[in-house]
């Protein structure tokens, strides 16, 4: 029913020619201005703040430098980040000691902040100290790479800093490329610090102390942000100046309005359209569509594994055997993504890539038997929740789940919750059965399992407590022998497939829809737009 209903909408969703947004209209004839529209908002200029939106991460990647950055590779006609290559950004180069316990970074000699003052090694030290000391998103992220104390950051020369690790950690360097790892003009920030706010967090929510490729010209929270190119960034050694002199990012809440604006040429790029809008636009061929499945992302079904009946592994296995995976994939995404079900292996994965397809398939006979073995021959009642913002994809999914589980005796009450309520209940672990989408910024198998399947913390969606998984991730974290590391990762994947604390469904596409003359889109791990790589052709 979901497919028929939504396909029927395609004809009704006529692009009703909304008025051109004034800030966009002013830039319409300027070829060196990029006009970006989004359904969401930038709520802070400091990406490390609790509650920062994904759009805030994207802006900060263009405004602030990190010490290092991931590489970039081409796959067909699409550019993506390369998790296997880490190069210098504010750092000119780096070395890792033979024992893996010291990372030495050398700053670019000609780097300056937006105010024209030179970047100093003291700025870098202060920025790293802030990361592990301030109450923010940075400290828990840094801890995944054993970066936990200011004593680990040692100035070793006028342009050299050493990062000392208690033992080799495969995630330490990658953590320095994260959106939270911003390098800050400490002299500017300190002028706005107070005894109660020694890291100038309040001031930096509305202001920047940066030196990246773009400056913030104007910021109106919830409405728009305007960036201007920092020519000094492109002129420094090994730098490449961005094509666009100015970027206007405007919030447009309605997806159909966003589709209309980009298709009519009143905007240049949008990355958050609905799948059915994208399909319709593909047929009309008025725009360029850069489609790539989000390689470090996954949509999933989560259970509360600490409460009945989902604390019973056979119940989870029964549900995993009852779901109509392909129908859900088609109804929710029109197949626009990468499936994570129906794998060819059964007991041991052939490689350690992750996320990867798991051996999940529909088998109602097996599902009924598992449910009976679990002590629920007549089934039970539960709720299935999703957030309002996910309704376009989650609503048809929920209907199919409800129908499929009814066949094995499980009665499902579907609940569509306002985003704020959903997020609160999810964080407080008070949803028995629900769907969400997540992404691991560091695309390493160990990182995914450590982040999503261990410890009593926010991102362990199913609150799974598996001593075996804890042992496997603990062994892999500091393992330097490649064969032993891969063996641990294979066992993690096999354990997830067997115990199904969380059912991984698919990796959705990112569809970057642009005007025909925009080129250079790069899919980045943070799933926002890298303005630096775009150009008009």
Transcribe 30-99 into DSSP letters: -TTEEEEEESS----S-TTSTT--HHHHHHHHHHS--SEEEEEEEETTEEEEEEEEEEESSEEEEEE-TT
- Please check the confidence at residue 300 and state whether its pLDDT lies above 80: yes
Co-location of 471 and 372 in the same domain = yes
**CATH number of domain containing 309:** 3.10.105.10
Per-residue pLDDT of 186-204, as tens digits, reads 999 999 999 999 999 999 9
**CATH number of domain containing 21:** 3.40.190.10
Residue 307, helix vs strand vs coil = coil
Q: What is the dihedral of CA 251, 47, 75, 96, to 10 degrees?
A: 170
Angular region, 51: left φ>0, alpha ψ -120 to 50, beta rest: left
Transcribe 327-375 into DSSP letters: HHHHHHHTT-EEE-SS-S-SSS-SS--SS---S----HHHHHHHHHHTT
Co-location of 502 and 523 in the same domain = no
- Asked if 268 and 30 count as a contact pair (C-beta separation under 8 A), the reply is no
Task: Please classify residue 164 by burial: count the beta carbons closer than 10 Å to its beta carbon, then call 0-12 exposed, 13-18 middle and 19+ buried.
Answer: middle
- Domain membership of residue 203 (yes or no) is no
Transcribe 88-148 into DSSP letters: ESSEEEEEE-TTS-EEEEEE-TT-B-TTSPBP-HHHHHHHHHHHHHSSSSHHHHHHTTT--
Comparing 8-12, 52-56, 152-156, the range with the smallest average pLDDT is 8-12
Co-location of 428 and 528 in the same domain = no
**For the residues 302-325, what does the mean pLDDT come to?**
98
Co-location of 244 and 333 in the same domain = no
Can the peptide bond before residue 309 be classed as cis, meaning omega within 30 degrees of 0?
yes
Per-residue pLDDT band at 426 (split at 50, 70, 90): very high
Co-location of 357 and 470 in the same domain = yes
- Please check the confidence at residue 21 and state whether its pLDDT lies above 70: no
Q: What is the pLDDT of residue 17?
A: 38
Q: What is the pLDDT of residue 449?
A: 97
- Domain membership of residue 87 (yes or no) is no
Dihedral sign of CA atoms 98, 104, 105, 106 in order: negative
- Domain membership of residue 424 (yes or no) is yes
**For the residues 469-481, what does the mean pLDDT come to?**
93
Co-location of 322 and 358 in the same domain = yes
**Higher pLDDT residue, 319 or 26?**
319
Q: What is the pLDDT of residue 372?
A: 98
Residue 150: CA atoms inside 13 Å, Cβ hemisphere, count? 9
- Asked if 401 and 395 count as a contact pair (C-beta separation under 8 A), the reply is no
Co-location of 359 and 405 in the same domain = yes
Residues 6+ apart with CB under 8 A from 421: none
CA 321 to the chain's CA centroid? 29
Per-residue pLDDT of 147-186, as tens digits, reads 999 999 999 999 999 999 999 999 999 999 999 999 999 9
Q: What is the pLDDT of residue 75?
A: 79
- Domain membership of residue 85 (yes or no) is no
Question: Residues of the chain with pLDDT > 90: what percent?
Answer: 87
Q: What is the pLDDT of residue 27?
A: 60
Per-residue pLDDT of 69-127, as tens digits, reads 999 999 777 899 999 999 999 999 999 999 999 999 999 999 999 999 999 999 999 99
Co-location of 319 and 428 in the same domain = yes
Co-location of 376 and 427 in the same domain = yes
Element holding 11 (H helix, E strand) = helix 2-12
Co-location of 362 and 451 in the same domain = yes
Whole-number Cα distances in Å, 267 to 20, 31, 421, 515, 530: 9, 12, 33, 7, 16
Domain count, the chain: 2
Q: What is the pLDDT of residue 8?
A: 34
- Domain membership of residue 172 (yes or no) is no
Co-location of 482 and 520 in the same domain = no
Angle between helix 2-12 and 275-284 (nearest 10):
50
Q: What is the pLDDT of residue 36?
A: 97
Average pLDDT, the chain: 93
| Two tokens, residue 523 | 């899919």
- Domain membership of residue 265 (yes or no) is yes
Say if strands 337-339 and 502-514 run parallel, antiparallel, or are unpaired: antiparallel
Per-residue pLDDT of 201-259, as tens digits, reads 999 999 999 999 999 999 998 899 999 999 999 887 555 799 999 999 999 999 999 99
- Please check the confidence at residue 14 and state whether its pLDDT lies above 70: no
- Please check the confidence at residue 418 and state whether its pLDDT lies above 60: yes
Whole-number Cα distances in Å, 520 to 16, 50, 56, 62, 317: 30, 32, 21, 15, 44
- Domain membership of residue 168 (yes or no) is no
Per-residue pLDDT of 112-134, as tens digits, reads 999 999 999 999 999 999 999 99
- Domain membership of residue 148 (yes or no) is no
| Two tokens, residue 306 | 């600490």
- Domain of 225, in residue numbers: 1-64+212-287+515-537
Q: What is the pLDDT of residue 111?
A: 94
Co-location of 476 and 523 in the same domain = no
């Amino acid at each position: 029913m979901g497919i028929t209903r939504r396909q029927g909408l395609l004809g009704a969703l006529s692009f009703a020619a909304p008025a051109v947004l004034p800030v966009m209209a002013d830039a319409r004839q300027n070829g060196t201005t990029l006009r970006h529209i989004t359904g969401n908002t930038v709520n802070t200029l400091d990406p490390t703040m609790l509650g920062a939106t994904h759009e805030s991460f994207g802006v900060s990647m263009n405004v602030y430098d990190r010490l290092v950055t991931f590489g970039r590779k081409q796959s067909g006609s699409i550019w993506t980040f390369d998790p296997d290559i880490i190069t210098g950004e504010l750092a000119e180069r780096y070395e890792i000691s033979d024992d893996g316990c010291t990372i030495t970074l050398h700053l670019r000699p000609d780097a300056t902040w937006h105010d024209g003052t030179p970047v100093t090694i003291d700025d870098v030290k202060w920025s790293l100290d802030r990361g592990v000391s301030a109450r923010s998103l940075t400290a828990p992220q840094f801890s995944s790479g054993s970066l936990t104390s200011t004593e680990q950051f040692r100035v070793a020369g006028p342009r050299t800093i050493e990062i000392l690790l208690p033992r080799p950690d495969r995630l330490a360097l990658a953590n320095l490329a994260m959106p939270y790892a911003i390098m800050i003009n400490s002299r500017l920030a300190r002028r706005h610090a107070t005894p109660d706010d020694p890291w100038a967090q309040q001031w930096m929510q509305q202001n920047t102390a940066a030196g990246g490729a773009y400056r913030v010209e104007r910021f109106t929270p919830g409405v728009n942000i305007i960036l201007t190119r920092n020519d000094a960034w492109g002129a420094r050694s090994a730098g490449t100046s961005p094509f666009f002199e100015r970027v206007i990012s405007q919030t447009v809440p309605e997806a159909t309005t966003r589709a209309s604006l980009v298709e009519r040429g009143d905007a240049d790029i949008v990355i958050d359209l609905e799948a059915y809008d994208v399909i319709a636009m593909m047929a009309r061929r008025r725009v360029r569509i850069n489609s790539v499945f989000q390689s470090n992302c996954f949509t999933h079904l989560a259970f509360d594994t600490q409460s009945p009946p989902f604390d019973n592994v056979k119940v989870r296995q029964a549900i995993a055997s009852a779901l109509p995976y392909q129908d859900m994939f088609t109804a929710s995404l029109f197949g626009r993504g990468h499936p994570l079900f129906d794998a060819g292996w059964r007991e041991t994965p052939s490689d350690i890539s992750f996320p990867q397809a798991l051996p999940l398939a529909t088998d109602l006979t097996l599902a009924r038997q598992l449910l009976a073995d679990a002590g629920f021959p007549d089934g039970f009642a539960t709720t299935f929740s999703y957030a309002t913002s996910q309704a376009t994809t989650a609503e048809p999914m929920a209907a199919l789940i409800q129908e499929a589980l009814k066949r094995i005796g499980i009665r499902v009450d579907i609940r569509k919750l306002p985003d704020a309520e959903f997020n609160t209940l999810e964080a407080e672990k008070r949803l028995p059965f629900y769907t969400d989408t997540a992404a691991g910024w560091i695309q390493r198998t160990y990182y995914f399992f450590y982040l999503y399947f261990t410890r009593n913390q926010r991102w362990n969606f199913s609150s799974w407590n598996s001593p075996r998984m804890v042992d496997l991730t603990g062994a892999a974290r500091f393992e330097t022998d490649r064969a032993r590391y891969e063996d641990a990762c294979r066992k993690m994947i096999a354990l997830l497939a067997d115990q199904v604390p969380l059912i991984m469904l698919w990796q959705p596409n990112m569809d970057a829809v642009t005007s025909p003359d925009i080129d250079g889109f790069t899919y980045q791990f943070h799933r926002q737009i890298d303005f630096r790589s775009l150009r008009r052709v």
